[in-house]
Amino acid sequence: GMARVKSSTRLFGGLLQRMVHGSEACGCEMTFSVYLPPAAQTSRLPTLYWLSGLTCTDENFSAKSGFARRAAERGLAVVIPDTSPRGVNIPGEDDSYDFGSGAGFYVDATVEPWAKHYNMYSYITAELPSVVHASFPGQFTGRKSVSGHSMGGHGALTIFLREAGAYEAVSAFAPICRPTRCPWGDKAFQGYLGGDEALARQHDACELIKAGAGDLAGRRILVDQGSADTFLGLAEGSVNQLRPADLEAACAERGADLTLNYCEGYDHSYYFLSTFIDDHIDHHADALL
CA distances from 257 to 215, 222, 251 (A): 11, 9, 7
Percent of the chain with pLDDT over 70: 100
**What is the torsional sign of CA 92, 98, 99, 101?**
positive
pLDDT tens digit string along 7-28? Answer: 999 999 999 999 999 999 999 9
Residue among 125, 227, 225, 245 nearest 182 (CA): 245
pLDDT tens digit string along 42-62? Answer: 999 999 999 999 999 999 999
Residue among 204, 208, 186 nearest 195 (CA): 186
Residue 1 has pLDDT above 90, yes or no: no
In angstroms, the CA 226 to CA 207 distance is 23
pLDDT at 70: 98
pLDDT at 276: 99
Beta bridge partners of 173: 149, 224
Give CA angle at 150 (146, 154), nearest 5°: 55
Q: What is the pTM of this model?
A: 0.98
Beta strands in the chain (DSSP E): 4-11, 14-23, 28-36, 45-51, 77-81, 140-149, 170-173, 220-226, 257-263
* 263-286: burial string, b at 16+ Cβ within 10 Å, e else: beebbbebebbebbbbebbbbbbe
Overall average pLDDT of the 62-76 stretch: 98
Q: What is the overall mean pLDDT for the chain?
A: 97
Overall average pLDDT of the 75-102 stretch: 97
Overall average pLDDT of the 31-50 stretch: 98
Residue 127 has pLDDT above 90, yes or no: yes
pLDDT tens digit string along 149-158? Answer: 999 999 999 9
54 CB neighbour count, 10 Å cutoff: 22
Overall average pLDDT of the 88-96 stretch: 96
pLDDT tens digit string along 192-245? Answer: 999 999 999 999 999 999 999 999 999 999 999 999 999 999 999 999 999 999
Tell me the catalytic residues.
150, 229, 268
Identify residue 253 by its one-letter amino acid code: E
User: Is the separation of the CB atoms in 63 and 9 below 8 Å?
Assistant: no
